[in-house]
């Protein structure tokens, strides 16, 4: 994959990287601690229970190559207690907050893949403190959840079709709509190009 442009990888799967802190009814918890039945705080549907958790490793049985994560800096506004950067799979979708979204797309909130608003567009190695694992969380309804102080999507319908999810849950998940309008790669990159050079990637994302 070296040298391949991320935004030309339409099948890049989402996933929360190691060290992600997810907001639950018990407060922020590391994604590694979460279990089925734990209730997560969603943007639109209150507290929702986890129905299924997938943890995809590099030696996974699905034959899926894990792309190296996109690294987001630590927040400095007190929105999260975590002290390490947030690592997301390049295909993971996040909620945008930039006024540029309303100006160019006529909606106050939209989602896009994190890599498409990153200033990186090529695969490169990202050093993480633990072996790379991507965590996938399935709720009863497609939702936006708080991770490290940012609103990010749970498993989307496309990812559900590729993961080893029980058939009943997969059928339910693949029929649900995305919680917000989803920008295609070129639309999201337009937002990044139009943003001021000093704007941090976290400044483009909707925070708690």
Q: 13 or 101: whose pLDDT is higher?
A: 101
Mind listing the pLDDT tens digit for each residue in 190-200? 999 898 888 88
Amino acid 126: pLDDT: 43
What pairing do the DSSP bridges indicate for beta strands 86-88 and 70-72? antiparallel
Say whether 122 sits in a helix, a strand or coil.
strand
Tell me the percentage of the chain whose pLDDT exceeds 70.
Answer: 81
Count of C-beta atoms within a 10 Å radius of residue 132: 18
pLDDT at 147 over 90: yes
The pTM score is 0.86
C-alpha separations of 57 from 50, 66, 104, 111, 143 in Å: 20, 8, 38, 26, 24
Phi-psi map region of 149: left, alpha, beta (phi>0 left; psi -120 to 50 alpha): left
């Amino acid at each position: 994959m070296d040298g391949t442009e991320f935004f030309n990888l339409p099948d890049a799967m989402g996933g929360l990287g190691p060290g992600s802190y997810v907001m639950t009814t018990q407060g922020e918890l590391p994604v590694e601690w979460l279990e089925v039945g734990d209730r997560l705080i969603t943007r639109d549907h209150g507290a929702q229970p986890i129905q299924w958790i997938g943890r995809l490793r590099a030696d996974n049985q699905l034959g899926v190559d894990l792309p190296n994560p996109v690294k987001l800096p630590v927040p400095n506004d007190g929105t999260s207690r975590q002290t390490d950067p947030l690592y997301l799979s390049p295909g993971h979708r996040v909620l945008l907050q930039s006024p540029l979204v309303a100006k160019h797309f006529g909606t106050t909130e939209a989602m896009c893949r994190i890599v498409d608003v990153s200033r990186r567009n090529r695969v490169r190695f990202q050093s993480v403190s633990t072996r790379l694992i991507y965590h996938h969380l399935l709720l009863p309804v497609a939702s936006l959840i708080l991770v490290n102080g940012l609103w990010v999507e749970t498993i989307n319908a496309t990812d559900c079709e590729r993961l080893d999810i029980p058939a009943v849950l997969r059928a339910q998940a693949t029929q649900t709509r995305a919680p917000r309008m989803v920008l295609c790669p070129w639309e999201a990159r337009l937002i990044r190009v139009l943003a001021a050079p000093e704007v941090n990637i976290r400044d483009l994302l909707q925070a708690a």
